[in-house]
Amino acid sequence: MPIGLEQPKSLLNIKGIRLSACSAGIYDKKRDDLALIEICKDSIVTTAFTKNIFCAAPVKISKNNLTKTSPLYCLINSGNANAGTGKTGLSNAKAICKELANIVSCSEDEILPFSTGVIGEDLPVEKIKKTIPDLIKKLSDDSWLSAAKAIMTTDTIPKAISDQIKIGDTTINITGITKGSGMIKPNMATMLSFIATDARVTKDVLERIKLNALSKSFNRITVDGDTSTNDSFILIATSKAKTPIIDKLDSNEFLILENAIMNICKKLAQAIVRDGEGANKFISIQVDGGANESECLSAAYTIAESPLVKTAFTASDPNWGRIIAALGNAKIPNIDTKKIRIHINDVCIFDDDKRSDTYSEESGQREMSKEEIILKVELNRGDYSEEIWTTDLSHDYIKINAEYRS
């Protein structure tokens, strides 16, 4: 079960956005596996995609289409990644875009395809093409949760969130959905994430918000250290709110909107970790007192991705030796180990180059047994701080991934 995570009861509609979900029969078991997002004209759209060199066919096509025009539709399937499929994969992704374009009378370039699921298998084009008319008929402005469910793969719960803010006297809505549970260490975003607001902004403003939000949210999570071939992040502003356009990066309106979107991204990113494959623990790793951002992140990720550390968390074993051994492999030059302090929640486990004098095995065991844990590392060599979120490594993670194609 996901850690401290519940399915949302309701989500806010975004003026200018309609969504739908249907079953195309991609899975053996009948479930919704196809989603469509319709974006009103004159919307501002900004994106980020995986940096994996084996990026999937839909990623390649979406990136190419974005160089030509602004998208009107996002066509998303689960159950098949359409990655590692060569020229056939590109042809298949283009075929479903063409089918949708013909029905809605738009250009193929105005459609962004997205896929998630098993790598290396051909996309079931005919099944998807047959389902597209139903997708179009079902479009509505209140289908965010249905779309969130349709894009799930090993997720155990749909991940979605909404928020409202005030800019002047006008209420601005923001809603986002995401999917992801395994193959998580984004190098730009998460596996698939779609966020929309009715705010009026310029392209430059939305681009800056995207970059700032990603850097502190989706680019701060890891489940297993693997970046997916299909990672995609889409941020949409429909400009339907009746407010002056936000066009200055130093304005109060910009800061209000950026903070709200940042919080949405953080909660969605953390939801992925809370629903990590086989996860029993949600772990925040905070590194303080670094000389720069890079060494803080190196320390955090080196600890988070150590199988020995992760399995110690699974066993609720306060084996602090594994933590300092992992930290010792981080890329931090000329570090003074005597200055390092490490806490598990409020319990100091390491200080002055040795086990803390105040530490007891009982206190360490008590804190490691909790579902939510903060591991705090104080480097005491500068003013930088960074935080990432990760999971433990359980028997269930191995089982889920061993049987993924079964």
Q: Is 163 helix (H, G, I), strand (E, B) or coil?
A: strand
Radius of gyration of the chain (CA): 22
H-helix segments, 123-243: 125-137, 144-150, 203-215
Q: Is 382 exposed, middle or buried, given 0-12, 13-18 or 19+ CB atoms closer than 10 A? A: middle
How far is the C-alpha of 268 from the C-alpha of 195, rounded, in Å?
10
* Residues whose CB is less than 8 angstroms from the CB of residue 204 and which lie 6 or more positions away in sequence, other chains included: 247, 249
Instruction: Give me the residues paired with residue 176 across strands.
Output: 161, 195
| DSSP states along 210-265 | HHHHHHTTGGGEESSS---SS-EEEEEE---SSS--B--TTSHHHHHHHHHHHHHH
Q: Is 400 helix (H, G, I), strand (E, B) or coil?
A: helix
Question: Which of 50, 190, 314, 391 is flagged as catalytic?
Answer: 190
Buried b (16+ CB within 10 A) or exposed e, 209-224: bbebbbeebbbbbbbb
Residue whose tokens read 């900004």: 46
Instruction: Give me the residues paired with residue 343 across strands.
Output: 348, 376
The reply to whether 222 belongs to the active site is no
* Residues whose CB is less than 8 angstroms from the CB of residue 190 and which lie 6 or more positions away in sequence, other chains included: 178, 179, 180, 184, 218, 221, 231, 233, 268, 269, 272
* Residues whose CB is less than 8 angstroms from the CB of residue 109 and which lie 6 or more positions away in sequence, other chains included: 65, 68, 69
* Residues whose CB is less than 8 angstroms from the CB of residue 35 and which lie 6 or more positions away in sequence, other chains included: 19, 20, 21, 74, 75, 76, 77, 135, 146, 147, 150, 151
In angstroms, what CA-CA distances link 239 with 7, 112, 214, 318, 378? 28, 20, 22, 51, 44
- Residues forming the active site: 190
